[in-house]
Amino acid sequence: MPAVVDAELCTACGTCVDECPVGAIELNDVAEVNADLCTECGSCVDACPNGAISLQ
Ligand code: SF4
Ligand code: SF4
């Protein structure tokens, strides 16, 4: 399954947007993952300072 952002934990810092190698994350009110682009690499999960992203 693609990465999923917990909107309650995301502070919209933008770190994951920069870390994603395929540009699958967009920053709106919170980060949003384009599931069609996500390769499930896990970079954003490791990079998020708030533990807001998980691979499910
Ligand atoms: S798991 Fe990898 S490809 Fe998917 S959104 Fe996170 S950084 Fe991007
Ligand atoms: S790195 Fe985490 S807190 Fe920052 S925008 Fe991404 S999901 Fe939100």
Give the pLDDT confidence of 1-56 residue by residue, as tens digits: 999 999 999 999 999 999 999 999 999 999 999 999 999 999 999 999 999 999 98
CA distance 39 to 21: 9
pTM above 0.85, yes or no: yes
- So what's the pLDDT on residue 56? 80
State the distance between the two ends of the chain, measured CA to CA, in whole angstroms. Answer: 6
Question: The domain spanning residue 21 has which CATH number?
Answer: 3.30.70.20
- For 33, the domain range is 3-55
Our count of domains for the chain comes to 1
pLDDT at 22: 98
Residue spans of alpha helices (H) in 1-56? 15-19, 43-47
Ligand 2 center–CA 18 separation, angstroms: 10
Mutate to test the pocket of ligand 1, among 27, 38, 53, 55 (most ligand atoms within 8 A of CB): 38
1 CA to centre of ligand 1 in angstroms = 11
